[in-house]
Amino acid sequence: MCNKETITSTGRKTALSENILFGMGNPLLDISAVVDKDFLDKFGLKPNDQILAEDKHKALFAEIVQRNKVEYHAGGSTQNSVKIAQWMIQKPHKVATFFGCIGTDRFGEILKKKAEEAHVDARYYEQNEEPTGTCAACITGDNRSLVANLAAANCYKKEKHLDLDSNWELVEKAKVYYIAGFFLTVSPESILKVAKHASDNNKIFCMNLSAPFISQFFKEPLMKVMPYVDILFGNETEAATFAKEQGFETDDIAEIAKKTQNLPKENTRRQRVVVFTQGKDDTVATVDDQVTMFPVVDIDQNDIVDTNGAGDSFVGGFLSALIQDQPLEECIRAGHYAANVIIRRVGCTFPEKPNFH
């Protein structure tokens, strides 16, 4: 395989244009409020947890918005990452496009407003059969219990949105693509269409393992997309589950990264890059034929407020450097910076401007 390009190249910063980064996923409106133990008990919630909403939680969403001081943020894994990428870049606005499905309701309107405030070019597919997806963050002290209700996010339709010329043009405009593994549960056919476009045009397609259940229960759609994946993200738990499901027979994270890099690949002009974060431990990445460890930014444990958005923000920081053609080391440094900022705050939120050089 001659003339192989590195995924991230020269280190010269590229001028950025609108819609250069494309993301697609489950848009959720994050609703955070401080609650008391009675509220948790009423809905059978643990203080620190992440669950999908069941029938017994339906009233929770109506009730939490009646609380004093409710905060709304545009959320969902992929949307968080493109929002962080946009924040890291600042100008121009609308560097990132985002596709996903919402409802024609008040929460949908708030989500549109929040995306606009974050300067993300969100083009939602709007339908009225399901309400806009939400994620309630029930905060007690330092703990937060997350309850996600995908609702409308589950209703994304390729032929009703992605296939429309005006939308597909935005896909073609991009040069870097990012989709979290969570979207495999919604529209694998949409992911494949975008992934094939990237591969056929030698552009960069990135994906995230997202959660252990994706590697376990959505293995078939995941492995259909894998040959088109140029950069794969995940954390240590997701990497271990993926390795087990793939029969790698190792729990050494560097070895898992190497074996994942060597899985079959369509576009042989780009060698796959695998990046596994491990919380406060070194980030593991494949650099050419080697596996390299990158230490994270030191942080005092007392300064950590909420690690929940750390993975999404790492990816966002990484993507902000990637679309500027920065080398892998710089992409990882930008990812570590963004994650370090976000874990000091509640939810996936950030100060007005980054202080990253």
Active centre residues (catalytic): 312
Do residues 62 and 296 lie in contact, with contact meaning Cβ atoms separated by under 8 Å? no
Among residues 140, 146, 78, 76, which one has the least CA distance to residue 107?
A: 76
DSSP character string of 206-251: EEE--SHHHHHHSHHHHHHHGGG-SEEEEEHHHHHHHHHHHT----
Do residues 154 and 102 lie in contact, with contact meaning Cβ atoms separated by under 8 Å? no
Do residues 253 and 284 lie in contact, with contact meaning Cβ atoms separated by under 8 Å? yes
Token digits of residue 230: 């140029």
> What DSSP designation does 5 have?
B
What is the rounded distance in angstroms from the CA atom of residue 156 to the CA atom of residue 151? 10
Helix (H, G, I), strand (E, B) or coil at 267: coil
Burial of 93 per CB tally in 10 Å (0-12, 13-18, 19+): middle
What is the rounded distance in angstroms from the CA atom of residue 51 to the CA atom of residue 137? 11
Burial of 8 per CB tally in 10 Å (0-12, 13-18, 19+): buried
Q: How crowded is residue 258: how many other Cβ atoms within 10 Å of its Cβ?
A: 18
